[in-house]
C-alpha cells in the first residue's frame, strides 16, 4: 500500500490506501469521497470534458457547481484522455502503486481500450481491487444499458411506493439510488481489501444502481414476498406501523414514529389521553394499523393546540421517537448538527461532515474540492515522470490542462 498524497493531512483508517477514481456524476464520487474522508489517497482522473456535474448549477463558486463541491473533497485531480494510448499508459503507471480502481464507464468501454479487468488488469495487477459501478450490470436483459437515479427509481419500484393514492408515484427528493449505490460500492471495496489481507489477491466488485434500488425496497418487498399483496402508496405513513406518520400541530408539523405499545402509552399520557391505549381499536400495533384512520383523527385533535417543536422535544425526552419537520437551513444551523460536526468549513469550502465517527482513526475534511487537473503535474512527478515527459504528455493532449467543450459519454 502507498502513503497519502502530499496535499492531504495525515491519518484516517484508510491511510496508505491509494484509489484511482475514474468515476463521474454521483454514485462513484460519493463512494470515493467517503474513502477520502477516512484517509485514502484518492486520485480523481477526469476525462477531457471534466466531470459534468461541475456544470450542474447554479449555485456556482469559481465556475464550479455546488453539486460537484458537495461530493468531491479529499481528492487530488488529474485530467487524462483515456481514448489516447499515451493517456492509458499514464493510467497503467498510476495503477502500479494503487490498491483500488473504481470507474462507472459503460460496460465494454475499458475492454474497447484494451484495459479490461478480466482480459488484462487482473493479470497485470493481481492485488488490485477493481470496482465497476453500472446502471444495470454488464449482462442480463438490461445489461449494459445506461442508468440515472430517477430512471432507476422508476423501473425498480421505488417510485411506486412513494407518494399518495392521489399524487401517484413521486421521485424521492434526494437521489437515494445513487447515494445508496455509492455506499454499497464503498462497502464492497472495503470487503475486498479485507479479503485481500487473507488471500493476497484483489478481485472485481460489481455494483449496480438497479440492484441497490431493489435492496432499498424494505419493507415493501418483504411484505409482498410474504403476503402476495402488492404494496400501496401510503404517503408519510408506514405500511407496517402506526402511529408512524406526519401530523399537524398548532405550529410545525411533527412526525411520530411510535414502534411499540410502551411508546404509544407514553405518547397518550403526554397528550392528556391516558385511556386511549385501552381502546380496543388501539391496543396493539396490529390494531392501530387496522384502524389507522380513526387513530389519525384522534391524534390530530389532541395535537391541534400543541407547539410542534416543543412537543417533539418533550416526547423525545420521555422515549417517544418524534421529530418536528424542519427545513434544511434550520437543520444545518441546529446546535446538535454543530455538536456532531455535520457541517465542516475550511476557507471558502463548506460541506456536510462525515457520518462515520472513528474512535482513534479520525476521518473528515483534509482538503476541499480541487480545480480541473489542479494536481496533475504533482501526480505525474510522484509516478516518476520527468519535466520533459510531462510537457510532452501535455502537448500531445493525453494530459489535459483546460476542459474541452462537449458532453460526456
Dist. CA 408–CA 387, nearest whole Å = 30
Dist. CA 129–CA 98, nearest whole Å = 9
Sheet holding 254-257, edge to edge: 244-247, 254-257, 322-324
C-alpha cell at 295: 387513530
| Strand pairing category for 204-208 and 322-324 | unpaired
Give the DSSP letter of residue 274: T
Q: Is 132 a catalytic residue?
A: no
Q: Which residues of 237-273 are buried (b: 16+ CB within 10 A; e: fewer)?
A: bbeebbbbbebebeebebbbebeeeebbbbbbebbee
Q: Which residues contact 272 (CB under 8 A, 6 or more apart)?
A: 302
DSSP for 324-384?
Answer: E---HHHHHH-HHHHHTT-EEEETTEEEEPPS---SSS--S-SS-PPPTTTTHHHHHHHTT
User: Exposure of 349 by Cβ count < 10 A (0-12 exposed, 13-18 middle, 19+ buried)?
Assistant: middle
Q: At what angle do helices 387-396 and 85-95 cross, to 10 degrees?
A: 140
In angstroms and rounded to an integer, the radius of gyration of the C-alpha atoms of the chain is 25
- The single residue of 103, 238, 336, 339 carrying the catalytic annotation is 238
CB 285 within 8 A of CB 277: no
Which residues participate in catalysis according to the annotation?
Answer: 238
Amino acid at each position: 500500500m502507498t502513503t497519502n498524497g502530499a496535499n492531504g493531512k495525515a491519518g484516517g483508517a484508510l491511510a496508505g490506501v491509494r484509489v484511482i477514481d475514474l468515476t463521474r456524476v454521483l454514485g462513484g464520487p460519493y463512494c470515493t469521497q467517503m474513502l477520502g474522508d477516512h484517509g485514502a489517497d484518492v486520485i480523481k482522473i477526469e476525462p477531457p470534458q471534466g466531470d459534468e456535474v461541475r456544470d450542474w448549477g447554479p449555485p456556482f463558486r469559481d465556475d464550479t457547481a455546488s453539486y460537484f463541491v458537495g461530493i468531491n473533497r479529499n481528492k487530488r485531480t488529474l485530467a487524462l484522455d483515456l481514448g489516447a494510448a499515451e493517456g492509458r499508459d499514464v493510467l497503467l503507471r498510476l495503477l502500479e502503486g494503487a490498491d483500488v480502481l473504481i470507474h462507472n464507464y459503460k460496460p465494454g468501454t475499458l475492454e474497447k481500450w484494451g484495459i479490461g479487468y478480466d482480459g488484462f488488469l487482473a493479470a497485470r495487477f493481481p492485488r488490485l481491487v477493481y470496482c465497476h459501478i453500472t446502471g444495470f450490470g454488464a449482462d442480463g436483459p438490461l445489461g449494459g444499458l445506461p442508468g440515472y437515479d430517477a430512471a432507476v427509481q422508476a423501473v425498480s419500484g421505488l417510485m411506486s411506493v412513494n407518494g399518495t393514492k392521489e399524487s401517484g408515484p413521486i421521485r424521492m427528493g434526494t437521489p437515494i439510488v445513487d447515494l445508496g449505490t455509492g455506499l454499497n460500492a464503498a462497502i464492497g471495496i472495503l470487503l475486498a481489501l479485507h479479503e485481500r489481507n487473507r488471500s493476497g489477491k484483489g478481485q472485481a466488485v460489481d455494483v449496480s444502481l438497479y440492484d441497490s434500488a431493489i435492496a432499498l425496497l424494505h419493507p415493501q418487498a418483504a411484505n409482498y414476498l410474504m403476503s402476495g399483496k402488492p404494496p400501496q402508496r401510503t404517503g408519510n405513513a408506514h405500511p407496517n406501523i402506526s402511529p408512524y406518520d406526519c401530523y399537524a400541530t398548532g405550529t410545525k408539523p411533527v412526525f411520530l414514529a411510535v414502534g411499540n405499545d410502551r411508546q404509544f402509552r407514553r405518547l397518550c399520557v403526554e397528550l392528556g389521553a391516558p385511556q386511549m391505549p385501552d381502546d380496543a381499536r388501539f391496543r396493539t400495533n396490529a390494531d392501530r394499523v387496522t384502524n389507522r384512520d380513526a387513530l389519525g383523527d384522534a391524534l390530530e385533535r389532541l395535537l391541534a393546540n400543541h407547539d410542534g417543536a416543543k412537543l417533539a422535544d418533550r416526547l423525545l425526552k420521555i422515549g417517544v421517537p418524534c421529530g418536528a419537520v424542519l427545513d434544511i437551513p434550520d437543520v444545518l444551523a441546529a446546535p446538535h448538527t454543530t455538536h456532531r460536526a455535520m457541517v465542516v468549513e475550511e476557507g471558502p469550502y463548506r460541506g456536510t461532515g462525515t457520518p462515520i465517527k472513528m474512535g482513534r482513526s479520525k476521518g473528515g475534511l483534509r482538503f476541499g474540492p480541487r480545480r480541473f487537473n489542479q494536481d496533475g503535474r504533482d501526480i505525474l512527478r510522484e509516478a516518476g515522470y520527468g519535466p520533459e515527459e510531462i510537457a510532452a504528455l501535455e502537448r500531445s493532449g493525453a494530459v489535459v490542462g483546460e476542459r474541452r467543450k462537449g458532453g460526456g459519454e
